[in-house]
Structure 1
Amino acid sequence: MDWTNEAIERLRALWAEGHSTAEIGRRMGISKNAVVGKAHRLSLPPRPSPIRRETTGEAAPRPQPVRAPRPAGMAPRLTLPTVAPPPAPVLTPVAAPAPVVRSFPRFSAARACCWPIGEPGQPGFRFCSADAIGGKPYCPEHAAVAYVKARDRREDAA
């Protein structure tokens, strides 16, 4: 949006009339955010928030909950004696357990197949660990599954 002098004057007039930013945007054919941004850059007075209420300087008293009177014959509430809480236990620092280091086949010295077998996190989950093809993370059997050659598109068209 190019803000010409006429557009700025129209924005100022609509702003002074008290229109919402959305309404000003509709009337000018621009977005609400464009109106808000330009109004901010022009230091126009802020719009009154529809959420905040006008205060007269004095805070209105909060309504207090009304309690029903206690029926006749009902015993008064019992108050329990207050007891001091027990002293906090003294905590002694404990050495952190040694971190668990998992050995994955692809990081071992001999290159082993990294094809997952089973469901991770379940008992019996493991990696294939057969000898991997040079330069690939899988053994010949799993490499045949992992690396499928794309067919020539011209073959499909015929």
Structure 2
Amino acid sequence: MNYKEIKKLVKLLKEEDLAVLSISDDNTHIHIEQKGIVISDQPAAISNNEPAAEVSEKSSELLEITAGQIGTFYNQKDENSEEVFVTVGDKIEKGDQVGFIEAMKVFNDVKSNVSGVVEEIKIDNGDAVEFGDVLLLVRPEEA
């Protein structure tokens, strides 16, 4: 993909008021967000990009950890395992992995931006998610 094609994609993103646009072919993956552009010229593989999970306040007590991208959310550590990253009642620290999102064979870790106790898991293992979908509700630690 050349510069002009990428420029057209950015223009399309703005004109259609899209938050995210992802396109892949055999050896190129382009992921464009309103906040910036990430271009990867590598075959689809496990990614270390680790997009930060968004945290927003739901009420004065619970915080939401939301999907940072479109894809499939997984709470299980791998497809052949029953072991999960977190369960309701688990104490998590800021930076702990709470799952991962797979999009087009690229796996991105979902990490917590808050320390606290997992109160509710809103998405089942293997469910499709969109940017901003609530994954977990966390009761933050007392300061």
How would you bin the TM-score normalised by the shorter chain? Answer: under 0.3
Greater gyration radius: 1
TM-score norm. by structure 1 comes to: 0.19
TM-score norm. by structure 2 comes to: 0.21
Could you say which structure has the higher helix fraction?
1
